[in-house]
Amino acid sequence: MEAQGGITVRQALDLPGLRGGLPEVVVGAEHLDRTVRWVHAGEVPNIASLLKGGELLLTTGLGLGTRPADQRAFVRRLAERGIAALVVELGARFERLPETLVETARAARLPLVQLHREVAFVSVTEEVHTEIVNSHYALLRQAEEVHRRCTQALLGGGGIPRVLRILADFRAGPVFLESAEGQLLYAAAPGTAPGATPAAAPLDVWQSLRGAPAARRSGPPAGSVLVDVAGGGQGTGAVRARLVMPAVSAPLTQVHRLAAERAAGTLAVVLMQARLEEELAARGRGDFLTDLAEGRVRPEDAPGRAGVLGFRPGAGPLLPVVMRLAPEPAPSGNWAVLARAVLEELTSVGVPVLLGVRPVEGRVPLLLGLRAEPERAAVADRVATALRAGVERAGLERTGSAPPVVVVGMAGGWAAAGAGLRHAAQTAAAAHGPGDRLWYDARGLDIDLLLWRLREHPDLAAFVERAIGPLLAHDRTARPALLATLETYLAHAGRKAETARALHLNRQTLYNRLARIGELLGRDLDDPGTVLTLSLALRARPHTP
């Protein structure tokens, strides 16, 4: 195996210090390409406890013990520590190495070397350490050269594909950039020298590593290099992407990891800059849509400004839509991810889209170009589905949290688009209802909007308490829960058969519950005024403390 940030045992034995001791490899000649990470000299029986692995251990044998059992234990502990080789200087303790020592080293596959002449261990240590430091420095120079080339490529407009191609050429194999979720973003393969056999296509390699069915997916082979590319997501050190160098065409060494780590730093800057640009663009579109909603853009000027932003809907009506993220806005840095994910999902809708973000309000406004007004409901279904899928892809849906609220306004021309966006945004803040509701029609939320605007007025809470307070008190202390029965009954306009089916109750049980509700509230549930009062109280309840 090639040395990784050090020298091999073979190279160390060939240095003047050890070569002057007339080294003889007694055991493990086939393992002399092991990397020497450090040199240590010692004569104590428990020397293994002081080592970390990769050392070249120099000793005269005084700590090996006299009994075969001690010698076997000494060698086994060294092998377990993973040292590179054991070098024993003959003369002070042994004229020749004990057979027990030799056989144990052979069984443990530990290189064992004997020196026939005395050497200065301190000189050997200095010499080998100098070579190790020089080797590390050489690796750093190679990695820095790759980093320099990558930086130049970016400054010259080469982009991420060019950086990956430089890395692929350097490691003579494919290189991939994947998302934090494991989706392929970019792939690069090394250039093929004239007359050489072309390497496997990088996408074929990726398919075998990541794209195969779970039963056959192997993942990157052992020895591959995977380096996280930091991004501006949630939390310090959040991963934006991952640089992958699979060990499929040639073994990877420490210099490949160093080069990948330096390139990852450059890629992080590029990705963060791209995210910043994406977020600024998304905020700019959101500002335009908000200005349109607030009447700060004249209808006759709106098409031109929208065209500059890439929105050219044609002659059909415009459909205003607003998504409110619930229960709280996305953290700073995630709006670009959200905007990109949602836009990618919206491509399947098949209509022109202008999408922006409003981080302060925690909402996403958008305009869509329809061919005709009758398309409104069908397009709204597809848009709401795409919006939710984009939120999920961006990682903003939290376990146990309410789904995003999507409100769809009325379709119309540029003159009506601003008012439609404003109405949709206002009603999105007031919307409350079943979590499985795909989207809300803004027209159906006007009562909720009125009640939401009264949310801080004490009379609203007092009204709710007078209307359904006894029912709320009952449900806090007794079963069954009657509030859900009343909500379902009113939602089905007092139709008892449909209410019973919705609640999975037989009719007599429902009749008993309704009678108990009327008794607790002191009201006749068949009275139209009572129905109106209770319906308003139930819709006002989410807006009260």
CATH of 454-543, one of 1.10.10.2840, 3.60.150.10, 3.40.1360.10, 1.10.287.110: 1.10.10.2840
Residue 439 has pLDDT above 90, yes or no: yes
Where residue 197 falls among pLDDT bands split at 50, 70, 90?
A: very low
**SS3 label, residue 252:** coil
Confidence at residue 380, expressed as pLDDT on a 0 to 100 scale: 93
Best CATH choice for the domain 7-119 from the list 3.40.50.2000, 3.40.50.2300, 3.40.1390.20, 3.40.50.720: 3.40.1390.20
pLDDT class for 162, splitting at 50, 70, 90? confident
Query: What are the residue ranges spanned by the domains of the chain?
Result: 7-119, 143-190+222-277, 297-447, 454-543
Tell me what the mean pLDDT of segment 411-438 comes to: 86
Q: Is the pLDDT of residue 5 over 60?
A: no
Which CATH number, 3.30.450.40, 3.40.50.300, 3.90.940.20, 3.20.20.140, labels domain 143-190+222-277? 3.30.450.40
Least confident of 139-153, 186-200, 506-520: 186-200
Q: What is the three-state SS of 182-206?
A: CCEEEEECCCCCCCCCCCCCHHHHH
DSSP letter at 485 equals: H
DSSP letters spanning 355-418 = E--BTTTTEEEEEEE-SSGGGHHHHHHHHHHHHHHHHHHTT-PPTTPPPPEEEE---B-HHHHH
Interval 33-80: pLDDT, tens: 898 888 999 888 889 888 888 889 999 988 888 899 999 999 999 999
pLDDT-derived band of residue 243, with 50, 70 and 90 as boundaries? Answer: confident
User: Reduced to 3 states, what is the DSSP secondary structure of residue 7?
Assistant: strand
C-alpha distance from residue 501 to each of 483, 484, 516, 525 (Å): 17, 14, 19, 19
Instruction: Calculate the CA dihedral of residues 339, 344, 349, 354 and round it to 10 degrees.
Output: 40
The pLDDT, as a whole number, for residue 196 is 40
- Reference 252, options 241, 260, 242; nearest CA is 260
Going by pLDDT thresholds of 50, 70 and 90, the confidence category of residue 217 is very low
Quote the tokens at residue 305: 């400004």
Domain 297-447: CATH class, spelled out: alpha beta
For the chain, percent of residues with pLDDT exceeding 90: 28
Quick one: pLDDT at residue 368? 93
- Please tell me the predicted confidence (pLDDT) of residue 230: 77
Specify the higher pLDDT residue, 388 or 235. Answer: 388
pLDDT tens per residue across span 450-474? 888 888 888 988 998 999 999 988 8
Whether the predicted pLDDT of 110 surpasses 80: yes
pTM assigned to the model: 0.51
> Would you state the pLDDT for residue 213?
44
Q: Higher pLDDT residue, 340 or 486?
A: 486
